Each structure stands twice: as C-alpha cells, then as structure tokens.
Amino acid sequence: DTAVSQTPKYLVTQMGNDKSIKCEQNLGHDTMYWYKQDSKKFLKIMFSYNNKELIINETVPNRFSPKSPDKAHLNLHINSLELGDSAVYFCASSRRDRGRLETQYFGPGTRLLVL
C-alpha cells in the first residue's frame, strides 16, 4: 500500500537522451511536487502542481517539463539529459486544508545517473 510511488527507482542513461520519471500518490492529496537532491544531499524544490495547475516553478532549465494528467499523478520529463542532471529526484504530495498546505509525504526517490 505505497502512498507515494515513483518509477523507475534507478535510471542510467546517456547524455543527450530524453527520459521520464513517473509519480503516483494514493493518498487523495491535491498537490504534488518534484524535488532534486544533488550529490551533496541538498534538497531543492523544482515544481509543484495543485489540482493539475502549476503553482511553483523554480529556476529550472526548460529541458525539465512536468506533466500532471490528474491529481494523483505528476510526471517529470527531461529532454537532452546532461551530466549535471545526475541526482536523486523525489516526488511528494500533500493536501490543501483551508488554504494552507499540510505535511508533504515523499516517495522513495529515483536515482538518475547520466553518463
């Protein structure tokens, strides 16, 4: 009964390729996020969607494009992968309660290695 799941768990690919990471949550939450954790373990938010609407878009190269087909899914597509994209990508979800966002629950992460 995984709450927030991500696929794949590991992704090894060549520079220049295009790849996607999928995220699904079964918590009934209406807000989902993508975070990037770099080699120094620094976690930084990339995107957030609420009810399929983009609400947070940090300074991220436009090679990264999130897509939310419905409230339970937020996928991350990356074009023209670069060495610097190697990181762990975490998906998270939360619900909005009276205008405030509650605790974020994280997925297990996708470890991306670009060669």
Partner 1 sequence: AQSVTQLGSHVSVSEGALVLLRCNYSSSVPPYLFWYVQYPNQGLQLLLKYTTGATLVKGINGFEAEFKKSETSFHLTKPSAHMSDAAEYFCAVSPGAGGTSYGKLTFGQGTILTVHP
Burial class (CB in 10 A: 0-12, 13-18, 19+), 76: buried
Q: Provide the β-strand partners of residue 102.
A: none
- Cβ neighbors of 100 (< 8 A, separation 6 or more) are none
Binding segment (CB under 8 A) for partner 1, from list 15-23, 65-73, 77-85, 106-114 = 106-114
Nearer to partner 1, 8 or 16 (CB): 8
- We find the least distance from the C-beta atom of residue 105 to partner 1, in angstroms, to be 7
Nearer to partner 1, 42 or 62 (CB): 42
Distance CA 8, CA 78 (A): 14
Distance CA 66, CA 35 (A): 12
- We find the least distance from the C-beta atom of residue 108 to partner 1, in angstroms, to be 4
Single residue of 25, 50, 68, 75 touching partner 1 by CB under 8 A: 50
Can you tell me whether residue 84 is helix, strand or coil?
helix
Compute how many residues bind partner 1; rule: CB under 8 A. 27
What does DSSP assign to residue 43?
E
Nearer to partner 1, 58 or 82 (CB): 58
Which residues contact partner 1 by CB under 8 A?
Answer: 4, 31, 33, 40-45, 48, 50, 55-56, 90, 92, 94, 99-101, 103-109, 111
